[in-house]
Structure 1
Amino acid sequence: MSVTAPPTVLRRRSGIAAGAALLTLAVAGCSGLGRTAVGPVAYTTGRDEVVTLHSPSVKGCHELAPDGAEKVENRTLVDIILYTSRDCTGRQSAYVATTFTDANAARALPWRSYRFVH
């Protein structure tokens, strides 16, 4: 003698399974939104002001202070590239790995923007 579940129980289980699958897809699809580089990026401006940005977004180009930065500390979990331009372009750049610091020479151009490597 075999026992089968009533049709309402089967429909309920199917609905729960379908809802769980849709929820999983929705969470996976949105997981890239708002990703941040965990930790701070700190820099010293030409006026010796220290600016600290906590967990900035990993997407896009980030401008530094108007007078630029002479020293940049990457204390995030993601590597960055520094640029002397305001729009993260150009040949004059420096790669700064996570937990490292870059300090400009006295006659070098200041860093004006950065982006994350991801």
Structure 2
Amino acid sequence: MPVTPPPAVTRRRTGIAAGAALVLCLAVTGCSGLGRTAVGPVEYRTDKDEVVSVNSPSVKGCHKMAPGGAREVVNETRIDMILYPTSDCSGGGTTYVATTFTDINSPRNAPWRSYRFVH
């Protein structure tokens, strides 16, 4: 014949299990607010032929480039990106650069001044 614990012990175990589940849910929710990154570098070449490398930038928001902008951008991250000729990721004249691809801007066009990720 199986032995069943008294009701008070059963309620205590249920309460402990419910409390542990609540703590785990809160921990997961808190951690989900951490910024995700685009794994890998974004490299670009400025008008002065300087190479700038940004390793694993955040997938959120607009990222400004060097003051002179960039003529060549290499996306070695795992997320596609959009290049903008403005410093605030606004306006038209954008270019879509898929992951592991490179974009070389024509000298007749304005340099890229910012980028954001497609996520």
The TM-score normalised by the length of structure 2 is 0.88
Match of 1:34, SS state, is coil
What is the letter of the counterpart of residue 115 of structure 1? R
Query: Match for residue 10 of structure 2?
Result: 10
Offset at residue 81 of structure 1 (A):
0.2
Matched, 1:82 2:83: yes
Change (3 A) 1:96 1:32: farther
Q: Which moved more, 1:62-71 or 1:21-30?
A: 21-30
Q: Sequence identity of aligned pairs in percent?
A: 64
CA deviations 1:41-68 (Å, max 9, x no partner) are 0100111000000100000000000000
- Superposed displacement of residue 7, structure 1: 4.9
Distance 1:27 1:74 in 2: 33
Structure 1, gaps ≥5 residues long: none
> Which residue in the other structure is 2:35 paired with?
34
Describe how 1:1-118 pairs up with structure 2 within 5 A: 1-7=1-7, 9-30=9-30, 31-118=32-119
Q: CA RMSD in A?
A: 1.7
TM-score by length of structure 1 reads 0.89
Which 5+ residue runs of structure 2 have no aligned equivalent?
Answer: none
- The one-character-per-residue Cα deviations of 1:4-56 (angstroms, maximum 9, x if unpaired) are 12456434532442233223322432324211111110100111000000100
Q: What is the rounded CA distance, in whole Å, between the counterparts of 2:38 and 2:73 in structure 1?
A: 15
